[in-house]
Structure 1
């Protein structure tokens, strides 16, 4: 075989090796493989209230975006469009990637608002903690009070149980959903306004949503559920598997 032919063959083989290497999948770093998660806090709270959940999700390998939004200043539609969606897009610029959500209270309604409007956000699995998915009777009874609006803002007034209230208008879940809610109350005054077992803000039944994959009841009160170790471990289990560990 001529030297020129050997040289040509070597060049071809080297080129083939380079092509094969370029088409091999890159090594996936373990902390990226778990996925992307957006945290949405509840009404009259801040992102700090989700810090403990953020820490546990990060330990489990998730890339976490803990969003702060002015929940008391605007209606739910405005909070979604003007604050939450832009922050999601800052954290995860690629519209094709799947984004999981972990929400507390009002945060769950914002995810439903995103889904109902078919926003260009690829919603993965969602865990809602103490969500008012069917509204709260406390809002029905107190929503017209000036003090109520001063504390909870216009978004709070939207969380009633009437048929035209926003939670009832958004429809069933169109994504993989797990709901965790509590059966303990530290607000006995509000609990007297809510029929049936409740967590101090929302009845157990009103936390449920048609289309959800799983439901879990825990011995927690509405304001503290996201900081509970069991709730955090069950949240991670659902994000990984699509169901709670029973």
Structure 2
């Protein structure tokens, strides 16, 4: 697959007219790497989207610093495109909200967030004082609680086109006991919701692996193309 992507990149250099007019930036979640988004990046490339799969040190800096470090260089790589989309997993969505709260992206396209803790996570509330939590997840991890002054809750509603996918399955029953109502093992369905969002979809996937689900990837592509998720047509009466 990497060979095919490299060949496609060479074709774009030789024949610039083949290049897409859009650029899609992928942002992984807390404690993960660009490898967790590689399958999604490959599928987006196959669907005709130019992608920038960003790797950033998610546990080294607070969210305010991470947003600029991750997004600004990626936007530079997208220069010349008519529109820039974002596809994020977990905390990656909070980085986009943080960045867009400070910086206007004139050619901003659509945003898809997978399992974003838009209202924080009760897991952080419960475990933040456990020895080793900060050492493992850093300052950014501590900023993802549900308190009113947490970063997600201070950022306000979306003023951009965003579709959100929430998972409803968990592989961690211990953490799910901490989270109220339906959850994906890390974030409740309710916490993924964001005022001003364009669409919201619940899917039977887990937080850890949702970005690798074929069904989720298909929905991501559909939203980027049409601004809404795909749902079965209502039965004819």
Both proteins in one fold, TM over 0.5: yes
Q: CA RMSD in A?
A: 1.5
Distance 1:165 1:79 in 2: 16
**The residue matched to 2:203 in structure 1 has which SS?**
strand
* In 1, Cα distance between equivalents of 2:101 and 2:45: 29
User: CA offset at residue 121 of structure 1?
Assistant: 5.8
2:10 aligned partner: none
Q: Deviations over 1:161-210 (max 9, x none)?
A: 11000100001111101000110011111111111110000000000101
Q: Which residue of 1 aligns with 2:79?
A: 93
Q: Which runs of 5+ in 2 are unaligned?
A: 1-15, 232-237
Residue-by-residue CA offset, 1:88-123 (whole Å, 9 max, x unaligned): 1331234x7421000000000000011111244632
SS at match of 1:222: coil
Partner of 1:197 in structure 2?
Answer: 182
- Note the C-alpha offset of 1:152: 1.1
Q: Which structure 2 residues correspond to residues 47-86 of structure 1 after superposition, within 5 A?
A: 47-81=34-68, 83-86=69-72
**Gaps (5+ residues) in structure 1?**
1-26
Q: Which runs of 4+ in 1 moved over 4 A?
A: none
How many Å separate the matches in 1 of 2:116 and 2:71? 19
32, 47, 62: which one aligns with 2:20:
32
| Secondary structure of 2:92's aligned partner | helix
Aligned partners of 2:178 and 2:57: how far apart in 1? 27
Q: 2:158 aligns to what SS in structure 1?
A: coil
Task: Name the CA distance, whole Å, in 1 between partners of 2:57 and 2:127.
Answer: 21
Structure index of larger Rg = 1
SS at structure 2 position matched to 1:70: coil
- Corresponding position of 1:222: 207
Listed as ranges, the matches of 1:126-145 within 5 Å are: 126-145=111-130
Structure 2 length-normalised TM: 0.87
Q: CA deviation at 1:86?
A: 3.3
1:184 to 141, 166, 169: 169
- Select 2:154's aligned residue among 169, 176, 180: 169
CA contact (8 A) 1:67 1:87 kept: no
